[in-house]
């Protein structure tokens, strides 16, 4: 349904600004009667258990309205694809909403026969299009129409919308999923008395999903690409930016897939990808809300007990070769200019990551941050500017500064302003006040994120799934708070260097190019 | 697919009955100063999901009561929730650019941002930023055509400092001239970039086509934000006209007792002025009623399609209004299971998203229609399919299970309306400023449960006319599957120029 970047940093830094001002915060305030304080965060009563299949569960019972959030995290994304089959992970995510051999099935035997016929027609279509001599357009059209006709026939034998319909009529909210470079996450919220429904449906679709409506859903994903990338100036620029920065590593390939690759994907590829990467031992389930842990554990065993372990998916060992010089890319599109600048930084597990995250907050977290105050408020060369880390977390990645030039200023003007601010950060430590600002904001965001069942479930699943420990996300906040101004200056000097810089600019076709 | 209720027999699922029985209690709205009580009691018979052989226990839930208070004549809605050391406050003031003329439009659009960024009469913008960020406060400011609202989210221990600066910004805004210039520059840029986003372009131009020179159809131009029209003085004048104690409502929730609230609201509200005059009522729009096809040529691989015509259904405690909500959800606002998504996306793979729209203002006509985006080569086919799906709903009543799904989704998911104290309180405040009854949610629940397939069909037959749709296409006509004229005579529509004077685009 959606594809997105990693969730962890947006959650940690989902704030406007920060910094404690002791004088300002020690007044005769209200005597808060809260039963839950910041230091409780790492002591949240999360119960963790693992089924024999390796499927991990995290349960956090909460008071409040009788609702429950379910999040399932799989450490699989477009990273696991190879050139020529981009978009596969995202398409699998779409197909897992199409029901199973139980849900939506009416005449499964007849349906399967039709699948075989349309897949054979698809093979013929690929063969025809792959002829070294020019493909016969009449034959291509005939085969496309045959696939379409067979899919219509198969549709009459099933109800591919039943998965959604069951959840809807039971009051579900927020039913969706996201795919990133490194993870796929499925989520839904239910009234608490209907929690068992999630177990029944999720176990069913994991056990025996049926990829019905495959060819029309592939068309849907192509429409998604047209909307998010090909008709979107920002989407086009991001795709070109990552491709330039990562010519070898899969971070350079689009999560939604390239149009030509999408046209060629087959149901068989989707099934193989699913079987390889969706073993129960890959799944982390977070359950947060008004639930009885004993019931959750009992349902987990009852519904998932027969899912056996699978061989682990093959590791993805590819690394981007060291970058030895500035790279630039320009996208020509009929829209006002935009700019991306990115420097290579190490994976999230590196000890420098907390300082880099603090650097991004110092640069663009709020109106007093250095980039915003300089470029937007003082020099007024940009209408917006932001810094972020990504697009993934496990491999060498990018520290990105994105900006929108304010007319009549050009991307070159904005780049000069960014360089000026970064030179200052490199040459002298940021002030203690700035660091304190970010620290207080972290403290506030710790409290605010505890307020949402869904946000907490996402955070727990992401932390356990990508780092093997749900508490790691909270420890990371502790490491952020411990960062010093000198450490921020050190990472700015170490990583924000010309030789690892990638610059991407979107401009109108007739505009003069950057010298 | 099994449905656990058969409309014709009026066999209602037990869980729904249990909630309905209790909401009848909820509907008895308490008088001023009392708590609004909400109670859902368990019912001995469980609900279930026959398709999976499941039964569910009854939902036992007693929503905490939102208290009704008053300070200096201002209605206060309050809910104590000490779960987290956080306090939320919201202020809502009736009045917006819809009540005023075009000459106020730019100032009204700028007002929320410049309340936040323009400093106060006591502090510069930079000083305000530093305090807000040092206190880790979250402030929001927003406005629509009919009201202005602002919220404060503060850690309990920083509430007093937060309240002080929030009051400064709301009552003594600085509207710093440098910040006004920055806002003007950002808007100049936004105006020029409007055409870059095909969806935004389609929506804004569609509003212009249908509403002309009415506040709903207005779009900012460079003329609107010229320094002669928009300056600190206009913002101060507008602020004085709108920010009045006799037009406001306040909500407070979180880690704070009523005594603590009262102690703080007394001086906070005493400082607000009382305005002598009521604002003029917004003029009703003259919505285009003729069918028509408009085209904005853009070199894009995907076409954005928007269509609508006026509808007389109004927001009111009226069976037709509730039937229209169900009709809209069945047609296209109900996600993957709705007809437009099932047909255009599920069956044909023509789009990533398709939705219907059915607006129902309280005092004027709304719109009914649909939106989608599709590859250029299926533009006309997708548009015709939307019209066909609408025509089918005009011709034939919906299936009982379709109505059940929409009603069940709302009723079974009713608890999601009570997930946080701030959510409950801000809902009550919004009812006050929009002049809805305070038990609107409960009424909605009951009335929706009464909607029948026949009522849905009736409102669809009376209100939806596919042949009268005004259709706007934003895309590349040379790549369309069929000429756009297939849909009717085509008018090439020119998007508003950044420099255009503010006039009715239908009668320039």
Stretch among A319-333, B46-60, B163-177, B455-469 having the lowest mean pLDDT: B46-60
Cβ-based contacts of A511 with chain B (< 8 Å): none
Residue B50 touches chain A, beta carbons under 8 Å: no
A31 versus B7: which is more confidently predicted? A31
Distance between CA B211 and CA B504 in Å, rounded?
A: 9
pLDDT at A399: 98
Query: Touching check for B84 and chain A: CB below 8 Å?
Result: yes
User: Which has more pLDDT, B178 or B18?
Assistant: B178
Nearest C-alpha of chain B: how many angstroms from A344? 30
The structure's pTM equals 0.90
Q: Residue B341 carries which DSSP code?
A: I
Cα B432 to Cα B251: distance, rounded to the nearest angstrom: 11
* Of A112, A122, A113, A123, nearest in space to A145 by CA: A122
Strand, helix or coil at B357?
strand
Going along B326-382, which residue ranges are E strands? Answer: 354-358, 366-375
CB contacts, 8 Å: B117 with chain A: 367
Separation of alpha carbons B425 and B83, rounded Å: 16
Contact B78, B425 (CB under 8 A): yes
- Which residues from chain A sit within 8 angstroms of residue B408, using beta carbons? 168-171
- Which residue among A67, A165, A193 places its CB closest to the CB of B58? A193
Nearest to B57, CA basis, from B74, B73, B39, B43: B43
The pLDDT of residue B289 is above 50: yes
B354 contacts B332 by C-beta, under 8 angstroms:
yes
Confidence of residue B476 (pLDDT cuts 50, 70, 90): very high
Q: Which residue of B has its CA nearest to A172?
A: B413
> CA A235, CA B142: separation in Å to the nearest integer?
28
Indicate the burial class of B297 (C-beta count within 10 angstroms; 0-12, 13-18, 19 or more): middle
Collect all residues of chain A within an 8 Å Cβ-Cβ radius of residue B353: 227
- Say yes or no for a CB contact (<8 Å) between A171 and B130: no
Is the predicted pLDDT of residue A384 greater than 80, yes or no?
Answer: yes
Testing the interface with B: which of A168, A173, A265 to mutate, by most B Cβ within 10 A? A168
- Rounded Cα–Cα distance for residues B107 and B186 (Å): 14
Q: What is the mean pLDDT of chain A?
A: 89
C-alpha distance from B361 to closest chain A C-alpha (Å): 26
- Please tell me the distance in Å from B363's CA to the nearest CA on chain A: 31
Cβ neighbours around A428 below 10 Å, total:
10
For residue range A232-272, list pLDDT tens digits in order.
999 999 999 999 999 999 999 999 999 999 999 999 999 99
How many contacts (CB atoms, under 8 Å) link A and B?
264
Confidence of residue B417 (pLDDT cuts 50, 70, 90): very high
**CA nearest to A460, candidates A27, A44, A162:** A44
> Who wins on pLDDT, B231 or B278?
B231
Task: Give yes or no for A332 touching B (CB within 8 A).
Answer: no
Using a CB-CB distance cutoff of 8 angstroms, which residues of chain B are in contact with residue A152?
A: 347
Of A169, A193, A450, nearest to B409 by CB-CB distance is A169
| Among B86, B62, B251, CA closest to A35 | B86
Query: Taking each helix axis from N to C terminus, what angle separates B177-193 and B105-117, rounded to the nearest 10 degrees?
Result: 120
Contact flag B373-A162 (C-beta cutoff 8 Å): no
Complex ipTM: 0.88
pLDDT at A8 exceeding the cut of 70: no
Cα–Cα distance between B206 and B357 in angstroms, integer? 13
Closest CA to B358 of B377, B334, B383, B337: B334
Whole-angstrom distance, CA of residue B431 vs CA of residue B440: 8
- Scanning B224-243 for CB atoms below 8 A from A yields none
pLDDT at B27 over 50: no
Q: Is residue B318 predicted with pLDDT exceeding 90?
A: yes
Q: Does A61 touch chain B (CB under 8 A)?
A: no
Contact B352 A30 (CB under 8 A): no
Do A449 and A406 form a contact (C-beta atoms < 8 A)? Answer: no
Concatenated DSSP letters of A377-402: IIS--EEEEEEEEES-SSSSEEEEEE
Phi, then psi, of A187 in degrees rounded to 5: -150, 155
Phi, psi (deg, nearest 5) at residue B6: -115, 110
Please report, for residues A249, B5, B316, B462, the alpha-carbon distance to residue B329 in angstroms, rounded to integers and kept in the order given: 44, 19, 18, 17
Q: Is A137 on the interface with B (CB under 8 A)?
A: no
Residues of B within 8 A of A220 (CB-CB) are 345, 349, 351-352
Task: Give the best residue of B136, B179, B197 to mutate against chain A (max A CB count within 10 A).
Answer: B136
Angle at B277 between CA B273 and CA B279, to 5 degrees: 105
Q: Is the minimum CB–CB distance between A19 and chain B shorter than 8 Å?
A: yes
Query: Can you give the C-alpha Rg of chain B in angstroms?
Result: 25
Across the range B286-311, mean pLDDT stands at: 97
- Looking at chain B, which residue has its C-alpha nearest residue A233? B196
Given its phi and psi angles, is residue A325 left (phi above 0), alpha (psi -120 to 50 degrees) or beta? left
Nearest Cα residue to B154 out of B169, B166, B172: B166
Residue A402 to residue A396: CA distance in whole angstroms? 19
Q: How far is B263 from chain A (nearest CA, A)?
A: 11
Q: List the end-to-end C-alpha distance of chain A, in Å, as a whole number.
A: 41
User: Cβ–Cβ of A233/B301 closer than 8 Å?
Assistant: no
Set of chain A residues whose Cβ sits within 8 Å of the Cβ of B350: 219, 223
> For every residue of A245-267, which 3-state class applies, written as one string?
HCCCCHHHCCCCCCHHHHHHCCH
Q: Does B263 touch chain A (CB under 8 A)?
A: no
Residues 6+ apart with CB under 8 A from B416: A65, A67, A171, A173, A189, A191
Calculate how close chain A gets to B435, using CA atoms only, in Å.
27
Cβ contacts of A36 on chain B, cutoff 8 Å: 83-85
For chain A, what is the largest distance between any 2 Cα atoms, rounded to a whole number of angstroms?
Answer: 83
Low-confidence winner among A95-99, A133-137, B132-136, B477-481 (lowest mean pLDDT): A133-137
B54 vs A contacts (CB less than 8 Å): 196-197, 200
Contact B138 A16 (CB under 8 A): yes
CB B308 within 8 A of CB B360: no
> Does the beta carbon of B371 lie under 8 angstroms from any beta carbon of chain A?
no
Tell me the average pLDDT across B109-134.
Answer: 95
Q: Do B49 and A166 touch (CB under 8 A)?
A: yes
pLDDT tens string B141-190: 998 778 899 999 999 999 999 999 999 999 999 999 999 999 999 999 99
Q: Is A170 on the interface with B (CB under 8 A)?
A: yes
Q: What percent of chain A has pLDDT over 70?
A: 91
Task: Note whether B1 contacts A165, CB cutoff 8 Å.
Answer: yes
Parallel, antiparallel or unpaired: strands A184-191 and B54-56:
unpaired
User: What tokens does A440 get?
Assistant: 């207080």
Other Cβ atoms less than 10 A from the Cβ of B468: the count is: 14
């Amino acid at each position: 349904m959606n594809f997105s970047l990693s969730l962890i940093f947006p959650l940690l830094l989902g704030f406007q600004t920060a910094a404690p001002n002791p004088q300002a915060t020690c007044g005769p305030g209200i005597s808060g009667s809260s039963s839950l304080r910041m230091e409780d965060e790492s002591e949240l009563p999360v119960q963790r258990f693992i089924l024999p299949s390796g499927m991990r569960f995290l349960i956090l019972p909460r008071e409040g309205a009788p609702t429950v959030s379910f999040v399932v995290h799989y450490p699989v994304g477009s990273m696991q694809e190879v050139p020529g089959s981009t978009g596969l992970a995202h398409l699998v995510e779409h197909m897992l909403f199409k029901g199973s051999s139980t849900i939506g099935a009416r005449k499964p035997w007849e349906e399967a026969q039709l699948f075989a016929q349309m897949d054979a027609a698809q093979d013929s279509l690929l063969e025809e299009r792959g002829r070294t001599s020019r493909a016969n357009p009449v034959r291509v059209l005939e085969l496309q129409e045959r696939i379409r006709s067979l899919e219509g026939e198969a549709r009459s034998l099933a109800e591919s919308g039943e998965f959604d319909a069951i959840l809807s009529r039971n009051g579900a909210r927020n039913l969706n999923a996201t795919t990133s470079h490194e993870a796929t996450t499925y989520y839904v919220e239910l009234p608490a008395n209907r929690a068992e429904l999630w177990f029944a449906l999720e176990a069913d679709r994991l056990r025996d999903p049926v990829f019905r409506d495959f060819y029309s859903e592939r068309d849907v994903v192509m429409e998604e690409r047209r909307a998010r990338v090909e008709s979107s100036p920002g989407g086009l620029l991001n795709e070109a930016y990552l491709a330039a920065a990562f010519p070898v590593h899969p971070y350079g390939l689009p999560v939604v897939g390239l149009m030509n690759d999408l046209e060629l994907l087959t149901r068989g590829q989707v099934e193989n990808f699913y079987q390889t990467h969706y073993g129960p031992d890959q799944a982390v389930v977070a359950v947060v809300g008004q639930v009885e842990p004993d019931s959750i554990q009992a349902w987990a065993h009852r519904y998932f007990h027969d899912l056996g372990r699978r061989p682990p998916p093959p590791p993805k060992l590819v690394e981007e070769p060291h970058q030895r010089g500035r790279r630039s890319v320009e996208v020509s599109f009929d829209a006002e200019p935009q700019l991306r600048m990115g420097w290579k930084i190490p994976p999230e597990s590196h000890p420098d990551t907390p300082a880099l995250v603090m650097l991004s907050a110092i640069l663009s977290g709020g109106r007093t941050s250095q980039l915003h105050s300089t470029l937007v408020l003082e020099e007024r060369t940009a209408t917006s500017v932001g810094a972020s880390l990504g697009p993934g977390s496990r491999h060498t990645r990018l520290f990105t500064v994105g900006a929108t030039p304010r007319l009549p200023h050009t991307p070159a003007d904005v780049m000069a302003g960014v360089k000026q601010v970064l030179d200052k950060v490199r040459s002298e430590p940021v002030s203690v006040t700035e660091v304190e600002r970010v620290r207080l904001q972290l403290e506030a965001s710790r409290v605010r994120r505890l307020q949402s069942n869904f946000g907490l479930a996402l955070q727990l699943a992401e932390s356990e799934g990508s780092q093997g420990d749900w508490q790691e996300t909270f420890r990371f906040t502790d490491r952020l708070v411990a960062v010093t101004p000198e450490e921020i200056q050190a990472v700015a000097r170490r990583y924000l260097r010309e030789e690892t810089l990638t610059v991407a600019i979107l401009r109108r076709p007739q505009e003069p190019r950057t010298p | 697919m099994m449905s656990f209720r058969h409309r014709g027999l009026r066999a209602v699922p037990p869980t729904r009955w249990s909630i309905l029985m209790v909401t009848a209690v909820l509907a008895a709205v308490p008088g001023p100063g009392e708590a609004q009580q909400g109670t859902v009691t368990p019912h001995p018979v469980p609900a279930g999901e026959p398709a999976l052989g499941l039964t569910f226990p009854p939902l036992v839930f007693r929503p905490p009561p939102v208290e009704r208070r008053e300070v200096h004549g201002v209605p206060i809605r309050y809910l104590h929730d000490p779960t987290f050391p956080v306090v939320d406050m919201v202020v809502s003031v009736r009045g917006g650019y819809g009540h005023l003329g075009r000459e106020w439009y730019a100032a009204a659009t700028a007002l929320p941002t410049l309340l936040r960024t323009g400093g106060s009469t006591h502090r510069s913008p930079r000083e305000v930023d530093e305090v807000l960020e040092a206190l880790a406060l979250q402030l929001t400011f927003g406005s629509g055509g009919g009201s202005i609202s602002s919220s404060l989210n503060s850690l309990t221990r920083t509430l007093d400092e937060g309240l002080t600066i929030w009051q400064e910004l709301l009552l003594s805004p600085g509207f710093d001239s440098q910040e006004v210039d920055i806002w003007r520059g950002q808007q100049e840029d936004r105006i020029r970039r409007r055409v870059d986003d095909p969806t935004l372009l389609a929506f804004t131009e569609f509003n212009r086509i249908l509403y002309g020179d009415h506040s709903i159809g207005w779009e900012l131009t460079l003329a609107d934000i010229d320094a002669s029209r928009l300056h600190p003085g206009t913002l101060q004048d507008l602020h004085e006209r709108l920010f009045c104690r006799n037009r406001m409502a306040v909500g407070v929730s979180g880690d704070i007792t009523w005594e603590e609230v009262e102690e703080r609201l007394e001086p906070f509200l005493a400082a607000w002025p009382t305005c002598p005059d009521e604002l003029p009522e917004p003029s009703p729009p003259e919505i285009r009623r003729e069918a028509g096809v408009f085209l904005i040529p853009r070199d894009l691989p995907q076409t954005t399609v928007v269509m609508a015509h006026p509808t007389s259904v109004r927001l009111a405690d009226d069976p037709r209004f509730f039937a229209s909500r169900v009709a809209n959800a069945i047609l296209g606002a109900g996600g993957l299971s709705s007809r437009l998504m099932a047909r255009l996306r599920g069956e044909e793979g023509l789009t990533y998203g398709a939705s219907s729209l059915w607006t129902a203002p309280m005092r004027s006509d709304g719109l009914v229609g649909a939106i989608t985006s599709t590859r250029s080569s299926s533009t006309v086919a997708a548009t015709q399919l939307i019209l066909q799906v609408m025509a089918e709903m005009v011709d034939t009543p919906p299936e009982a299970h379709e109505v059940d799904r929409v009603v069940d989704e709302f009723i079974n998911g009713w608890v999601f309306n009570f997930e946080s104290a701030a959510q409950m309180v801000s809902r009550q405040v919004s009812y006050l400023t929009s002049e809805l009854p305070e038990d609107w949610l409960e009424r909605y629940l009951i009335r929706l449960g009464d909607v029948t397939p026949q009522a849905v069909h009736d409102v669809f037959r009376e209100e939806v006319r596919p042949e009268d749709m005004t259709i706007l296409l934003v895309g590349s006509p040379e790549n369309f599957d069929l000429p756009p004229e297939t849909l009717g005579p085509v008018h090439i529509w020119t998007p508003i120029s950044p420099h255009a004077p503010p006039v009715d685009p239908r009668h320039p």
